[in-house]
Each structure stands twice: as C-alpha cells, then as structure tokens.
Chains A and B, each alone.
Chain A
C-alpha cells in the first residue's frame, strides 16, 4: 500500500509570491490534515479536509487555504508569501473516523520544505 505522497519536496519562492502544495493520501483514507513545522513554533495544525469539506481549521491567517478533491487528494495554497512562512509543511491522512479508535491514526508524508527569500 503506497504511503502519503507530498509534492514537491522542496520549493524556493520569494516574498509576495503564492505557492500550491499537493498531498495524495493513502488509498481509502478520506481525511487529510495539514501541519506547519518551524523551529520556533513546532508543529502547528493548519486545517483538515474530509470528503471535500474543510472540517477543522487552526489559527492561521486567510492567506493559507486548502481544498480536497473527490479522490481525496488535497492541495494547500499560501498567497502573498512572507519570510515567516518558511517551514516544513506536512500532510497526514487517516480514515477520519471520530472516536477513540486506531482508525484515527494519522499517517504523514515526507513533507514539502518551503523556503521564502
């Protein structure tokens, strides 16, 4: 079974540009969550999509957005990039079933490292 695939692995952008990151979940998983990881703030939750709907959102500005397609693949977009957006962006997939069960374990991709110059 293929794991979570994130593309691209590395990106270099300049301030003011926008960027789109892609995530293909494990087959059968309907939930995709996005996280930002920086040395200063650690791992922070961005948002979660389930069946093409945003189901949960973290405390990030509106420049951060996402979407999910009918095949569960997800994209996140960051507009008007700032230097502080430089980070490792991780996506994770799961069955998305709420409750105290092993099926809500999240499986992570290798991440996209974004550098904003």
Chain B
C-alpha cells in the first residue's frame, strides 16, 4: 500500500516560479525522504528530513515536516526547465533489521521555459 500521497498529481509552472508539492502519510515515521525521477529513469535522492526536524534546506530545495498533521512539503524556488521531473516522497517501514521505502504516487512537475 502507498504510504505517502503527493498533491498535486501534476503541476505546470513557468521558469523562475516556485513549485510546491505536498505529501501526506499514514503511520509514524523516523524520517521522510524526497526523490526526483526524470522521465523513465531511476530515482535520485534529494533530501532526508528527520522526524525531529521541522524544516531543512538544500540549495533551492526547502522541505518542511509536520508530524502532527503527518504531512511534508517540498518547495523548489526559482525553478528551471531542468527541474522538470516527477517528485516522490518516501517513508521508511522497518521490519526486523530491514528498511524498505514506501513511495507515494508522485507529483509530475513541468517547468516551461
């Protein structure tokens, strides 16, 4: 089952604008991660935010986490055409010593030049 659910499913903006994607999840977490996937390719890890963190920055990326609402958001500032991709949030489910990532269905971002 999908743990994270991204919103919106698709987002189209102009270059230079900011893009905000949201993710909701169902169970308690230790951390939440965001990944990017260019069309038909593998996923690239963007940022990890721990459950005791509320906000984290990495370059033009800003991630927030609200554990009381079980939600996270990813903000990409000053977007570029190269940011066009699908973005996924993922939570970690532990089973014994193993951890698996549970992904949402993603937000497809299109940045128009």
Question: A residues near B, CB below 8 A?
Answer: 4, 6, 33, 35, 42-43, 45, 48, 50, 55-56, 58, 88, 90, 92, 96, 98, 100, 102, 104-111, 113
Contacts and interface: CB of A to CB of B under 8 A. Distances in A.
Given A105-B33, A105-B48, A98 B43 contact: no
A113 to B, nearest CB: 7
B44 A108 contact: yes
A108 B98 CA distance: 17
How many of chain B's residues touch chain A, expressed as a range? 20 to 34
Contacts of B104: 42
B contact face: mostly helix, strand, loop, or mixed: strand
B40 A111 contact: yes
Given A43-B103, A45-B102, A56-B95, A110 B2 contact: no
B98 A56 contact: yes
B100 A56 contact: yes
Contact of A104 (B43, B92, B96, B106): B92
Nearest to B96: A55
Nearest to A106: B101
